C-alpha cells in the first residue's frame, strides 16, 4: 500500500517512518511512504505555499494552487473510476470527521492514500473541492497535519497482513470488534511485584496453564470503553 504525504516538512515524515514497525514494513515492501514536498509544486522563486487571508485577520492560509497541482501529480495516469475505488485523497483538518479504528480498517483496503498536511490557519476553503474526505484525529488543534498523517499511516499499516510480527496482535486489539471494545488486561513477569510493602499479583488463572479457562477469563475481562 502506498501512502503519499504532501507537506512543507517532508523530513518529519521520513524521520518517523525510518524507525521501528514502519521502517520494517517499508523494507519488506508491504508499504511505501512518499513524503511529497509541497514547495515542488510552486512557481515563484520563493516557493510560496501560503498567503494572507482575504478579509484580514491573523495568520496565513495555505494556497490552493500548489495543493491542487500536487493532487493532480498524484492522480496523474489513474482513471477516475479506479481512483475512487482504490485510492483516496484526505485533507487533514480538525474540522473533519473523526478518525477511528473502523476508518483505519476501511482505509487498509485501499491501494493508495494521499494526505494533505496543513499549517498556519489551515487551507484556502477551495482546497476541499479537490479531496475525497476531510479527517480529524481528534477534537484538539495541532500546529500541522504531519502528526495526524503519521497517526493514520501507522494505524492503517498495522492492519496490513505481514506488517506486525504476530498477525494475531491486531485481531484482538482494542476497537477491533467495535468502537467501544477494550482488550483484556496483559501481565508479564514478575508474578508478584512489591513496592512500598504492598504486593501486586498476577491473576492466578493466567499462571494455571489451562488455556480454556484463560480464554474465558480474557473474554470476561475485555471491557467496554469508558465514555
Ligand atoms: N485554523 C484551523 C481551525 O481552527 O480549524 C486550525 C489550523 S491548524 C493550526 C493547522 C493544520 O494542522 C490544519 O490545517 C490541519 O492540517 C492540521 N491539524 C491540526 N489539528 C488537527 C487535527 N486534530 N486533526 C487533523 N489535522 C489537524
Q: Relative to the CA of 135, which ligand 1 atom is closest?
A: 25
Beta strand 50-51 pairing with 181-182: unpaired
> Atom 1 (ligand 1): residue with closest C-alpha?
121
- Return the half-sphere exposure (C-beta side, CA atoms, 13 A cut-off) of residue 181: 15
Question: Which pLDDT score, from 0 to 100, does residue 78 have?
Answer: 72
Alpha-carbon span 170 to 45, nearest angstrom = 47
β-bridge mates for residue 84, sequence order: none
Tell me how many degrees the CA angle 53-55-60 measures, rounded to the nearest 5: 15
pTM of the model: 0.94
Closest CA to 105 of 181, 165, 20: 181
Question: Which pLDDT score, from 0 to 100, does residue 85 have?
Answer: 76
- CA 6–ligand 1 middle distance (angstroms): 14
- CA 99–ligand 1 middle distance (angstroms): 14
Alpha-carbon span 17 to 150, nearest angstrom = 8
- CA 127–ligand 1 middle distance (angstroms): 14
Q: Relative to the CA of 62, which ligand 1 atom is closest?
A: 14
**C-alpha grid cell, residue 193:** 511485584
pLDDT tens for each residue of 151-169:
999 999 999 999 998 756 7
Closest CA to 142 of 160, 120, 123, 126: 120
Question: Which pLDDT score, from 0 to 100, does residue 168 have?
Answer: 63
Question: Which pLDDT score, from 0 to 100, does residue 192 have?
Answer: 98
Question: Which pLDDT score, from 0 to 100, does residue 169 have?
Answer: 78
Question: Which pLDDT score, from 0 to 100, does residue 167 have?
Answer: 59
> Atom 9 (ligand 1): residue with closest C-alpha?
143
Question: Which pLDDT score, from 0 to 100, does residue 177 have?
Answer: 86
Question: Which pLDDT score, from 0 to 100, does residue 171 have?
Answer: 82
**Ligand 1: lining residues by beta carbon, under 6 Å:** 92-95, 117-119, 121-123, 136-138, 140-145, 148
- What residue spans define the domains of the chain? 2-157, 184-224
pLDDT tens for each residue of 45-56:
999 999 999 999
State the virtual CA torsion across 65, 97, 95, 14 in degrees, nearest 10.
-60
Name the residue of 94, 121, 127, 134 to mutate for ligand 1: max ligand atoms within 8 A of Cβ: 94
Alpha-carbon span 212 to 161, nearest angstrom = 27
Tell me how many degrees the CA angle 109-115-119 measures, rounded to the nearest 5: 155
CATH of domain 2-157: 3.40.1280.10
Greatest alpha-carbon pair distance for the chain in Å reads: 70
- CA 8–ligand 1 middle distance (angstroms): 14
Which regions of the chain are under pLDDT 50? none
Amino acid at each position: 500500500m502506498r501512502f503519499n504525504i504532501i507537506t512543507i516538512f517532508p523530513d518529519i515524515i521520513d524521520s518517523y517512518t525510518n524507525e521501528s514497525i514502519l521502517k520494517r514494513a517499508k523494507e519488506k515492501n508491504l508499504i511505501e511512504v512518499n513524503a511529497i514536498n509541497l514547495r515542488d509544486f510552486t512557481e515563484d522563486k520563493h516557493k510560496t505555499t501560503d498567503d494572507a487571508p482575504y478579509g484580514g485577520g491573523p495568520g496565513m492560509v495555505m494556497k490552493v494552487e500548489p495543493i491542487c497541482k500536487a493532487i493532480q501529480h498524484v492522480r496523474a495516469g489513474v482513471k477516475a473510476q479506479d481512483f475512487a475505488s482504490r485510492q483516496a485523497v484526505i485533507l487533514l483538518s480538525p474540522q473533519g470527521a473523526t478518525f477511528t479504528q473502523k476508518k483505519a480498517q476501511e482505509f487498509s483496503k485501499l491501494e493508495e492514500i494521499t494526505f494533505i498536511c496543513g499549517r498556519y490557519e489551515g487551507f484556502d476553503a477551495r482546497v476541499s473541492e479537490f479531496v475525497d474526505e476531510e479527517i480529524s484525529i481528534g477534537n484538539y488543534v495541532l500546529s500541522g497535519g504531519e502528526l495526524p498523517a503519521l497517526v493514520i499511516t501507522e494505524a492503517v499499516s498495522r492492519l496490513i497482513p505481514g506488517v506486525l510480527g504476530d498477525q494475531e496482535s491486531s485481531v484482538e486489539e482494542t476497537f477491533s470488534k467495535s468502537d467501544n471494545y477494550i482488550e483484556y488486561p496483559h501481565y508479564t513477569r514478575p508474578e508478584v511485584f512489591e513496592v512500598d510493602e504492598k504486593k501486586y499479583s498476577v491473576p492466578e488463572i493466567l499462571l494455571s496453564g489451562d488455556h480454556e479457562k484463560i480464554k474465558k477469563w480474557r473474554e470476561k475481562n475485555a471491557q467496554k470503553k469508558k465514555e
